[in-house]
Amino acid sequence: MKTTVQINNKINKFNKTIYVPGDKSLSIRFVLLASQAIGKSIAYNILVSEDVISALNAIKKLGVHYKINKNICEIYGKGLSGLKFKNNTIINAGNSGTLARLIFGMLINSKNSIILKGDKSLSKRDFSRVIKPMRMFGQNIKSKTNKLPIIVKGTNFSRPINYFESRGSAQVKSSILLAAMKTSGMTKIKCIPSRNHTENLFKYLNLPIKIIRKKKL
């Protein structure tokens, strides 16, 4: 079946600058990774949306300071073990599934517990696919139905894992990568192709990641 596209009107020539909004997924990942670095990280053209604001509020509750002016964001990271927060601190991910799932990996070595919550829509989603690999790392997770609210506490003895991610979830893959960043030894992920924002950021930051692409899993 052929599809025909007919253009009746053409755009006249113009001399203007077009500004493209920042990417939500990259913005959230920047917030979480910058909070794990030591010192100030700066992102330009960060997307100032509800989900990104939820990520910024989350790192603030975990003891990381930030400044945001229009679309420029500065984050003052505390390092891989620098998060400081009270036991049973409540983190509200709002409607952001990306934040809610990635923060598991970020908290793999946390000494205190957090209570992870979300809005009505996010609270209906199944978190079992991220809970499973996090428990393999050794993370302590309390959940009756695999849905929010969930209590998450890190471990002093996180162990590397070999994991097959069978659903092509960039969120689950990214959560594992964030946990592996804080875990001694080699973690291996075999997965169906999905968005590669986190891998690209890892390579940009010179983090020890090796990617092997195969036609068949």
Query: In this predicted model, what pLDDT tens digit does every residue of 45-75 receive, in sequence order?
Result: 999 999 999 999 999 999 999 999 988 999 9
Q: Is residue 211 part of a domain?
A: no
pLDDT at position 217 over 60: no
State the pLDDT at residue 178: 96
Our count of domains for the chain comes to 1
What is the value of pTM for the model shown? Answer: 0.88
Q: Is residue 95 part of a domain?
A: yes
Q: Is residue 3 part of a domain?
A: no
pLDDT at position 216 over 80: no
Residue range 199-212, pLDDT digits in tens: 999 998 888 888 88
| Residue 174 belongs to domain with CATH number | 3.65.10.10
State the pLDDT at residue 1: 59
Q: How confident is the model at residue 99 (pLDDT cuts 50, 70, 90)?
A: very high
Q: 5-14, 51-60, 87-96, 177-186: lowest mean pLDDT where?
A: 5-14
Distance from chain centroid for Cα 132? 17
Q: Is residue 76 part of a domain?
A: yes
Mean per-residue pLDDT, 70-86: 93
3-state secondary structure of 35: helix
CA-nearest of 41, 43, 40, 36 to 58 is 36
**Burial code of 185-206, b = ≥16 C-beta within 10 A, e = fewer?**
eebebebeebeebbbebbeeee
Mean per-residue pLDDT, 103-113: 96
- Token readout for 83 is 């998060």
Residue range 163-194, pLDDT digits in tens: 999 888 999 999 999 999 999 999 999 988 88
Residue range 128-149, pLDDT digits in tens: 999 999 999 999 999 989 999 9
State the pLDDT at residue 208: 87
State the pLDDT at residue 53: 96
Q: How confident is the model at residue 6 (pLDDT cuts 50, 70, 90)?
A: confident
Q: Is residue 209 part of a domain?
A: no
Q: Is residue 212 part of a domain?
A: no
State the pLDDT at residue 74: 97
The answer to whether 152 and 139 have CB atoms below 8 angstroms apart is yes
Q: Is residue 14 part of a domain?
A: no
List the domain range (segments joined by +) for residue 58. 24-204
Q: Is residue 11 part of a domain?
A: no
